[in-house]
Amino acid sequence: MHIKIYEITHTSINKASQISSRFFDSTEWQAVSSGSFGLLCKNFKIEVRGKDFADISVDVDESGFYSHFIGYGGPDVDYVNSDDLEEIISALERIINKPCKRLKLYPFVKVGHYSQSSFIQKTTSVLHLTNLSFKKEVLYEIRKAQSRAVSVRKLSSKEDIKDFYKIYNETAERVGSDYRTPISVFHTISQIEGSFILGAFKEGRLIAGSVFLCSVEWSYFWWNASNTEGRSLSANYLVMSEAIAILQRQGVFFLDMASSHSPAIRRFKTLWGAKEMAYFEYSK
C-alpha cells in the first residue's frame, strides 16, 4: 500500500462532517477539543497509489495523538482493511513524530481482516429511532415521572449549565469516577446547532440531565446525570423520551448510547430497545 499523507485545513475535512454522521470530526467539536482540553487539532489528507483515499483528523497532546480524545474518529470511510489502517497509523506517527495513543472507529465503519491485527472489537449500544421497541417498564417509568409533575426542557443559560454540572459531579462521585469533564465543554455543547442538553425539573429544581451530540443520521448519548431526587422520580426516563422525540423531528435515525460499564446502565439501554453494535479500537 503506497501511502502519502499531508496536512490540510480544518475547513476541508469539515465539509464531510456537515453531510455525514461523523460528529467528532466537526469544526465545532474540534473547537471543544482545543479550547477545553488544550489539544492541538490536526487534519490530514490520505492518498493511496496517487488517489484520494480519505481524510482524518487527530487530537495531539504531549504524549501522542488520538482520533479522537473523546468519541470516535479514524479515516472518513465506510470500510477499511486493518492492515492498511495500521500503515496509515504508522505514517501519521512519522509525520506527527508522536505515537498513536488511541484510534476509535465509528460503529458504522466496517473493518476487514482484523483477527490478527492490533485492533480490538468492542461494542456500543445503538437505538434505532425509526424502529422503536421498548419494554412496558419504560412506559411505566415515564408515566411515573409525569404523574410527579416532572418537566423537561433544554438547558442553555450559564445558570442551567452550572446547575447541571453540580449534578454531573454528584453522579461522577457516586459511580466512583475520578475524571471530570470541564464545565466549558457543556457550555459549548449547549450552543452547537442540532446538539442539546436536556434537563428534568421538579418545582423549578434541576434533578437530572443528559447530553445529546447530533450529526445528520446519528446522535451520541455521551453524558447522563441525576441526583437522588431525580432517580427516585425516574426523571431520566422522561428526559430520554423527550430526547427521542426531538431527535426524530430532526431526522436522526440512530442514537448511540455508548458502552455500558455496569449491569444497571446496560439494563437501562436494553429497556429502550438498544442493540449491541460492534466498533473497532486501536490503542497503546
Residue 164 near residue 197 (C-beta atoms within 8 A): yes
Residue 152 near residue 239 (C-beta atoms within 8 A): yes
User: How far is Cα 261 from Cα 56, in angstroms, rounded to an integer?
Assistant: 29
H/E/C letters for each residue in the chain? CCEEEEEECHHHHHHHHHCCCCHHHCHHHHHHHHHHHCCEEEEEEEEECCEEEEEEEEEECCCCEEECCCCCECCCCCEEEHHHHHHHHHHHHHHHCCCEEEEEECCCCEEECCCCCCEEEEEEEEEECCCCCCCHHHHHHHHHHHHCCEEEEECCCHHHHHHHHHHHHHHHHHCCCCCCCCHHHHHHHCCCCCCEEEEEEECCEEEEEEEEEEECCEEEEEEEEECHHHHHCCHHHHHHHHHHHHHHHCCCCEEECCCCCCHHHHHHHHHCCCEEEEEEEEEC
User: How far is Cα 56 from Cα 58, in angstroms, rounded to an integer?
Assistant: 7
User: What does the pLDDT read at residue 144?
Assistant: 97
User: How far is Cα 139 from Cα 200, in angstroms, rounded to an integer?
Assistant: 17
Residue 190 near residue 156 (C-beta atoms within 8 A): yes
| β-bridge partners, 244 | none
> What does the pLDDT look like over 143-180, one tens digit per residue?
999 999 999 999 999 999 999 999 999 999 998 889 99
User: What does the pLDDT read at residue 266?
Assistant: 87
User: What does the pLDDT read at residue 261?
Assistant: 79
User: Mean pLDDT for each consecutive 10-residue tract of the chain (284 residues)?
Assistant: 84 59 92 93 90 93 96 94 90 96 95 76 95 92 97 97 98 92 96 96 98 96 96 97 97 94 86 94 84
Residue 158 near residue 129 (C-beta atoms within 8 A): no
> What does the pLDDT look like over 212-237, one tens digit per residue?
999 999 999 999 999 999 999 999 99
2 burial class (0-12, 13-18, 19+ CB within 10 angstroms)? exposed
User: In terms of Cα–Cα distance, which of 261, 235, 184, 218 is closest to 21?
Assistant: 218
User: What does the pLDDT read at residue 252?
Assistant: 96
